[in-house]
Structure 1
Amino acid sequence: MLKSLELGRQIHGRLLRVGMNEDSFAITALIDMYCKCWKMDKASTIFQEFRRIGYKGSHDDLMAQTVSWSTMIAGYVQNGMMKDALDRFSFMVHEQVEVDVYTLTSILTASADVAFLELGKQIHARIVKLGQDVDVCLCSSMIDMYAKCGKLDDARLFFQQTQTRNVVLWSVMIASYAMHGKGEEAIELFDLMQNEGVMPNGVSFVALFTACNHAGLIKEGCKYFRMMIEVYGIRPEVEHFSCMVDLFGRAGHLKESENFIYTNGISHLREVWKAFLSSCWLHKNIELANSISKKLLELEPHETDSYVLLSNTYSAIDNWTEAAQLRRLMQERKVKKLPGQSWI
């Protein structure tokens, strides 16, 4: 996905010139393009115009109608506009537009992110009632929804009732235990996955390392990190390294975290230093936090977060002179701090 808004606009203009502005599939593709380019207002305008034109009633047009609604809902979810996604879905049901698996998957994601358990249950019932073909994405979204709504037992029950459990569903279930800090249960499930002949992938290990982090299982985390490399031949990515740095750091082993970074040659990765910095703050090691914040600033001189983190360390040690110099540096480099926001 290029996510090139300018190119998309040019194609939009060409569609208008050649008279394809009423072609259902072309318009749906346009809506999808604007959603993925973070222009939800433009996507919504095209969608409303498309609805005003109406559908001719053919099978293709009815399918395009469902796809256009699904695309808008998915766009709202992808852009973090969960309330708009839920409102659009309610209106879709009210308009008696056919709801497909893709729509249900998107709305389940929205329900999970806002912990809207009641809607999630309604969608679950709708799937059972309509006999929808439950694909992997829909199953994983259902498990994730129950887990994020605090219903871990329901998530496990749904997982167990699913006939085909591939590595995606196993990984989501392991991540659900990690989310609730149940490290030992996550490890037990991971071992069960291996016993059933399902080969873990990189995502599975990220979920497992996260579970070990939250439960403080350092020995186990190191064991599975070695297993990932030596047994399964999976090359560690930045997510795996960050999890391991966080694993040592959360437990207060800050020296081990730093040694891990340099031993594995990942000192150029901003993400691992952020994970290390979080541990320094957790254990009130302001001096080390100050040093890491400066390193982050060197790695990403135009990243707003780096300045905010360094400013926080200066404030923590009452070093107002350095804080003032940092603000002047931000002005010189034209770096602007985003204002704080609250959903309350």
Structure 2
Amino acid sequence: MSDDSRRDETDAPLGATSDQPQDRWTQGPEVAPRQHASTTAGAAGDSAETLRERQRLAQIEMMDRWVGGVLTEQRRSRRWKLFFRLLLLLVVLLLVASVVYNLYWSDPADAPPAQRHLAVIEVNGVIASDSPANAERIIKGLERASASDSAAAIVLHIDSPGGSPVQSQRIYAEIMRLREHSDKPILAVIEDIGASGAYYIASAADQIIASRASLVGSIGVIYAGFGFQDAISQIGVERRVMTAGENKAFLDPFQPLDEDAAAFWQGVLTQTHQQFIDDVRAGRGDRLSTQSEIFSGLIWSGEQGLELGLVDRLASLEEIAREEVGEASWEDYTPRLDPFDRLTRRFTQMAADALGVSASNSPLRYQAE
């Protein structure tokens, strides 16, 4: 038998004969198996040196991947650092621009127009030391308006429920001073509401003007708090308060308010209320009605207020402007708020509203509820 025939018999599959037809799926040239991506396993017959070289290459590849990941993370970290640095730089630039703007660019009231006009000071929102309607800002606007030669009248444009007694008293005193020393009429024009501390301010003006549906009055003082003495015992919390002075913590909401403390605090409220009444009477004079309900804390419409002497007439700011200067236009003398200060105040007010607390520093309020 020749070598070729002997090779054919050897290569034939088990159980097959040379007479049987060959299967095209099992017969044919041998295909090399797919090489695995990893080179660490090596191949049969590789020497120890080859295997070590393959392992070294695999380690180098792993190290390259690790170094690549570290570099990617560092680049990402540098990008974030750059972003925050740019953000900080932007904030600083805005702060500097705000300071420069307020120092070198004047308010509209610093350069009033030559033609006659109404000098308007806005009293918007709660009257408090930390709100836009604070005494310092409004008094500054009053001083600017009083110094303007072309201002036909000073107008307090009020849309406020009231607020701090002290801030209201400061503004009231300044308006009363201007009534004596300024030749310009001072008008209080009430929009939606001019109640409590806002009415306190308005009562110092020469005239109070409102719309028929405006809310005016609410001449009273309020203190509001909570009593948690029962709740704190139910949840098992011990209240620890140390004072020097036996009545220092008499308004502590976690302690019951005894009769003596309540009587004392009511006396403070009554005295503050009497200050309110006296100043309103001084400002309004005999225009006020003699009805005792005026000082009971009730709030009235503009139309009702006209009958009670709380309001002098019913008109709008546009009508007043036409009467005084011939056209419905005016100049705003309210000092500008710093942009950052405005943002801070708004955030503080939003936080106070969300927590349900008053933004005023005083526990007493001339404020409509």
What TM-score range do you get, normalising by the shorter chain? Answer: under 0.3
| Greater share of residues in strand | 2
Which fold has the larger relative contact order, with Cα–Cα distance below 8 Å and residues 6 or more apart in sequence?
Answer: 2
When the two structures are superposed, what TM-score results if normalisation uses the length of structure 1?
0.27
Q: TM-score, normalised by structure 2?
A: 0.25
Is the radius of gyration larger for structure 1 or structure 2?
2
Higher normalized helix content (fraction of residues): 1
